[in-house]
Structure formats: C-alpha cells, structure tokens
Amino acid sequence: MGEAHPGSLRVGVRVVVRHLIEGGERATDTVGELLTSTPDELVVRGRHGDVRILPADVVAAKPVPQRPWRVAAFLRRAEVAVLDLDGVVREFDVGGARTRVERELGLGPSGLMGIASELPEAQAMVRGRSTYAAWVAALRTRLLDLGHPPPLVDLAIERWHADRGTPVRCTVDLVDELTAAGTPTFVFTNGTDQVPAELGQIGLGHLVPLLLNTHDLGVAKPEPEAYAAAHAEIERRLGRPVGRAEVAFTDDRADHVDAAREFGWRGQLFTLPR
C-alpha cells in the first residue's frame, strides 16, 4: 500500500487505511468513505459502520482508485444512446418517507410499488389506455380493500404523490455529456401521462424532448413491439434509417435489457459508478 499522510486525504472520498489494533499487536485494513480527518481521529464509514482510527495508529493510507464506470464507457461508444428513466435517471423515496409509511401499513418488501404494479390500471396506463390519476385511485381502493386504516392509506397516497423522484446526478450528467457531444440520446420509459410534468418538477425538463414514453407508444417493455415502436420513433426523429446494432441501451431491469438484445440493440444492465 502506498503511504500517505492521513491529513492529505480528502473527506468524502473512498479510502483504504491500514491501522494498528489490539494495542499494536497487529494491523488491519479499513475501506470506506472518509467522513472526518482531524489531528485527533479519522472516521471511515465502512461496510459494517463507522470506524474511528487514531492518527498515531495509521500505518498507511491512500484513496481507493476509482473504477471506470462501465455504463458510461458503453454509452460513450454508442452511435445512438438509450437509457431507462426510473432507477437510472431518477430514483424515488430517497428520504425514506414512503418506506416509513409502508412499514406502518405492514406491507411486504415490495411495498406500495409491488401492489401498484400488479393493478390492471398499471398495465393499461403504461400502454396509453389509462391515466396516472386512475392508477393512484385504484391503488387507494386496493389498499382499503386489504383492510388498511383509511388515515394510513391517505398518508401513503399523499407521500406517493409528493415524491416525483430525485435526479440521479451522475446519470443526468452523463446524458448531458452525450447530448453535448452530439450523440443522439433518448430516455425510454414505461411511463405515465404525467412523466413530462414530473421531469419539469424535479428540474429535468430539458430531458422531455428525449422521452420515448410507452404511454405514447401504446406498448410497453419488455414486449418486442415496444422496442420496435421506440426504434421507429428514433428513426423518425433523426430523419434517417438506424441500424439496430447502432443503439446502445441500458436499464436497471435485466428482463428489459435481455429483450432489447433480442430485438437487436446492444444492451447493458445499469449500475451506478463505484
């Protein structure tokens, strides 16, 4: 391990610190985010919690080299880049408010989304045959039918409405980079009639022109027809034929990526940079 003075390490980066334990009898390595670096202690947030280390016990320390972001490299090589929206460009329940009310309701691990996604209105909505409002009304009815207390149900629906997502900053920056470089870039989502407005609400209105929304296309991922419809729309917007192998697609659902590959797009499962 290359040695570094603990004071030279920048707070907020991932580090590996070799330090003495058991009264100096042996050394161990702690890997994680450096939360604090003072003359009195280092605090590193590792896999099992925060580790406090005395500077006098540090044998060596260095930043963990960042691994290349495979998804970014994959899309930067693309002639046409297509990204999923939810779980890729935006994420939900970042503050945990919805999770807390789900626990109060006693819902399983899949939570509200697990119930909501199984509703017939959900399948109709992402194919343009129903609306977000009808979907949420059906979710409320379903929760009441399951015997959940109306006040908790209303609170759950209120928090559902309030959370229109939080941008995944690294992905948004990547999309902006791709478009600035002249790469035709699209956001392909099993979406609702409210997606354009929601993107505006969370500061991503500039991505609305990039949308390929299944609510508008009439078919949804992972149906083969959805990829065909999205591909045809890409060709229409670009005003030229596009070979299927020109398109690089990423999604956080493996079945959606597999279906894209079956269609002839190049696909890679979405992961965040490490």
Dump pLDDT digits (tens) for 84-102: 999 999 999 988 888 888 8
Is 11 in the same domain as 140?
Answer: no
Antiparallel, parallel or unpaired: β 49-53 and 90-91: unpaired
Final residue in a domain of this structure, among 143, 162, 181: 162
Q: What domain count does the chain have?
A: 3
What is the structure's pLDDT at 6?
60
What is the model's pLDDT at position 12? 82
Q: Over 60: is that where the pLDDT of 4 sits?
A: no
Shared-domain flag, residues 106 and 76 = no
- The two beta strands, 166-167 and 247-251, are unpaired
Per-residue pLDDT for 5 more than 80?
no
Q: Tokens standing for 81?
A: 């880049």
- Write down the residue that tokens 């269609």 correspond to: 263
What pTM, to 2 d.p., does this model score? 0.77
Within this chain, do residues 76 and 170 fall inside the same structural domain, yes or no? yes
Residues 88 and 168 sit within 8 Å (Cβ to Cβ): yes
pLDDT (tens digit per residue) in 106-144: 887 788 999 999 999 999 999 999 999 999 999 999 999
Domain extent for 170 = 70-92+165-269
Check which CATH number belongs to the domain holding 17 and give it.
2.30.30.100
Q: What is the pLDDT of residues 48-63, one digit of tens each?
A: 788 999 999 999 999 8
The verdict on 85 and 178 lying in the same domain is yes
Residues 86 and 177 in one domain: yes
Residue carrying structure tokens 């450096």 = 34
Give 158-216 pLDDT, tens digit per residue: 999 899 999 999 999 999 999 999 999 999 999 999 999 999 999 999 999 999 999 99
Residues 43 and 87 in one domain: no
| Whether the Cβ atoms of residue 76 and residue 248 lie closer than 8 Å to each other | no
